[in-house]
Amino acid sequence: MAEKELNLKQKRLKYYVYFLIDSLTNQIFYVGKGQGKRIFAHISYYKCGNIDNPFKYERIANIIKSGGKVESEIFVDNLSEQEALEIEKFMIRYIGIDNLTNISSGQNTERQKAMVMLDRIIPLDIWCNIEKRTQSDIDLYNFVVSGFKQVACYE
């Protein structure tokens, strides 16, 4: 029994690198690393309105509204977490961060991701010099500095 449990635990520890693909254009729009059912979480988040990445959320919304589907493809699996992080980072750079909805080029902390996302939306020098912020500016700021706290959402 212990050997069986060990094998199950080893399988759960394996990571993979995956792509989200726009079925209308056959273009990869997101590169991620995951384990278990992570590859399917993006659609679940979209369906319940959990915005963990506004760029990805908007792309998924546009695909679905246009009659397409978000396809998921595991690029490589059976990896350690470190191997998965390295491959994810390489693929993001290979495809180009500007061609993807990823917030960062991989291996960043939540705070670093927040800073990158905010800078992509409003460059930091402009943000710091806004004299009168709107409620949406404040909401955006609160969302970013909260560290993208994700609310569990399952179908």
Radius of gyration (C-alpha) of the chain in whole angstroms: 17
pLDDT category of residue 54 using cuts at 50, 70 and 90: confident
Please report the pLDDT score of residue 46 as a whole number: 87
CATH architecture of the region 2-145: 3-Layer(aba) Sandwich (3.40)
Q: What is the pTM of this model?
A: 0.65
Alpha-carbon distance of 88 to 71, in angstroms, equals: 18
pLDDT at 148 > cutoff 50: no
Count CB neighbours of 73 within 10 A: 10
Cβ neighbours of residue 21 closer than 8 Å, sequence gap 6 or more: 27, 28, 29, 70, 71, 72, 73
Mean pLDDT score, 117-138? 60
More confident residue, 31 or 113: 31
Choose the most confident range, by mean pLDDT, from 42-46, 48-52, 118-122: 42-46
Alpha-carbon distance of 18 to 37, in angstroms, equals: 11
In the chain the first and final C-alpha atoms are separated, in Å, by: 32
More confident residue, 134 or 110: 134
More confident residue, 131 or 59: 59
The string of pLDDT tens digits covering residues 98-123 is 899 998 776 555 565 566 666 666 55
Q: What are phi and psi of 134, to 5 degrees?
A: -85, 170
The string of pLDDT tens digits covering residues 64-85 is 999 999 999 999 999 998 898 8
pLDDT category of residue 91 using cuts at 50, 70 and 90: very high
Please report the pLDDT score of residue 21 as a whole number: 97
Residue 113's alpha-carbon distances to 28, 48, 108, 136, in angstroms, are 20, 22, 6, 20
Inter-helix orientation angle 110-121/54-65, to 10°: 60
Mean pLDDT score, 17-39? 94
